[in-house]
Structure formats: structure tokens, C-alpha cells
Amino acid sequence: MLRKQSKEVDLLILGAGWTSTFLIPQLERGKISHAETTTTGRDGTIPFKFDPDSGDADSYKRLPSAHTILITFPLIGHSQSKNLVGLYRSVHGASNNWIQLGSTEIFNQLPHDWSTDNSPYDKSSTRAIAEDELLELGGCVLNLCGLYGGQRVPRTWLPRLGKSKDDVRKRGAVHFVHGEDVARAVIATHSKFTPSKRWIIADLRVYDWYDLIMSFSAMVDGGAGNQQGQEPKQEFSKWVGELMEEEGIRALPRDMSLLGRKLDSRGFWQYHGVWPSHPRLA
């Protein structure tokens, strides 16, 4: 159960969801004081729900002053970042740093090349618009990819990857990061803040969906709880095998040049001098 918090903390988590299950234990071990919010105030958290259309700062008075504020939920479009930061600072002052958890889906402007932290991205994305606004306010954005760990088990996603061989054919590169490494990235940013900086957070690897699909299909349990029985294992393995024949692929994983968009996630880890504790998808 999460504890009720003091009036001043090192790190305030706005939205105590999946990320907080990895972050809070690391904060406790590092003796970093913290507080968390949820919309309902469950488990001893602070009840708080961001209303993008409200200019009333009253609900921000129940939040503690914090050195770093982590936003785990997406902000959308113009004004939301300014509204959230402005209302909080109207109550607690401007001596605080802001971290937004975002998505690497915005890095789609180089579909056949590598994207780094500084590569072009989709500026028309409503999430990117809000992130850019936070960056203008001196905040930091951690663009995450392929979140897994805890209840998020990638091999169980197999039935959702497609319903036909053509669906599988479209799958190229994919990237992942474990929840524990997301937490480490947040703490590193809290400790050594990088204002107005966007980072790509991944485990330093590029995975081939064909390779993963073949591996996952071998691990899928066709017994109880799998309504499709053995179909996912049989069909997905068959589809990947047929595609390898059709595309002249001798072995998996495929050559990097065939995988489409790829993310170079070295920048963050090099800058902070820390490295993923889960450097490979289990």
C-alpha cells in the first residue's frame, strides 16, 4: 500500500499506474522521498485528476511541493502542458523540474533509417505538440517504446499481432524497454536533469518481429485459457516460415537493412552513465 506523503517531496508522480510499480521500490531503496496521485485516491495516494479545461488551481493545493514532477499520462495538443505546469506553479512556485513520459511512435519521419533523440519526428502528432510545449517550459520528455515487465508479457501479445500472413508481413523492427529501466531512467533524469531535452528510452537493441513471432509462437501455451487453442502457434510459425521462403530470408533475425525504422537509444544511457539492467527481452 502506498503511504500518505508529506508537504514536500523529492519526486511527485502524477498518475500512479504501471510505471509506479517499478519506480516506487527504487525510490524507496534510494531514499528519495515521493508522493503519488490517482484519480480516486486509492491505496493512500492523493486524489487528483487533471482537467485540461479548468483554470482552477484549488485541486493543486492538495499536492505537495516537489523538486521533480513526473507526468505518466499523455497530454494532448496545445495548452495542456502550459495549463498543468502553470496551475501547479501558481500554488507551489517555479522551482521544480518536469518529466513527461511519451511514446517513440512520433519518430516516424525516417521510415527506412535510424532515428536518434535529435531526429525529425511527427510534429503534427497531438502528443508531440504537448511534449514540445513542455520542452519550451524547460521540461524533459522521455519517449518510451515497447513497455514490458510485471503483467506486461510480450509473448502473450502474439494473438494481437495480426490475423493473417499479410499482417505479419508488415512487421519490421520493434523496440522494448523493461519497467525497471523506465524507473532507472526517471531517477537518472531526476538526479541530473536535462531541461528542454527529448530522449529515446529503449534497451539498446533492435528486434526483428519475424524472429520474435517465431520464438513467441513456440512458447504459447495452447492449453487452458487460450481460446484459440493451438491455432496461434501453428499459424504464426507457418506464416513466418512461408514469408522467409517468399522473401529469400535464409535465417532469423533478418538483416537490419530489411527492418525499416530503427531507434538509436544510446544517447540517454551514455549521457547519464547508466545502462539498462534488462539489456535483452527475456
Q: Which domains does the chain have, with CATH numbers?
A: 8-152+176-204+263-272 (3.40.50.720)
At residue 234, the pLDDT reads 61
Contact assessment for residue 174 and residue 209, using Cβ atoms and an 8 Å cutoff: yes
Contact assessment for residue 13 and residue 30, using Cβ atoms and an 8 Å cutoff: no
At residue 233, the pLDDT reads 55
C-alpha to C-alpha distance for 204 and 83, rounded to whole angstroms: 35
C-alpha to C-alpha distance for 80 and 84, rounded to whole angstroms: 6
Say if residue 253 is preceded by a cis peptide, omega within 30 of 0.
yes
At residue 7, the pLDDT reads 85
List of E strands, the chain: 8-14, 34-38, 46-47, 65-71, 97-103, 114-115, 140-144, 147-148, 173-174, 177-178, 197-201, 207-208, 262-263
Beta bridge partners of 47: 38
Contact assessment for residue 139 and residue 81, using Cβ atoms and an 8 Å cutoff: yes
At residue 223, the pLDDT reads 39
Amino acid (one-letter) located at 59: S
pTM reported for the whole predicted model:
0.93
pLDDT tens digits, one per residue of 219-266: 765 533 444 445 555 689 999 999 999 999 999 999 999 999 999 999
Grid-cell match 511512435, residue found: 105
C-alpha to C-alpha distance for 173 and 276, rounded to whole angstroms: 19
How crowded is residue 6: how many other Cβ atoms within 10 Å of its Cβ? 10
At residue 225, the pLDDT reads 41
Spans in the chain with pLDDT lower than 70 = 1-6, 220-234
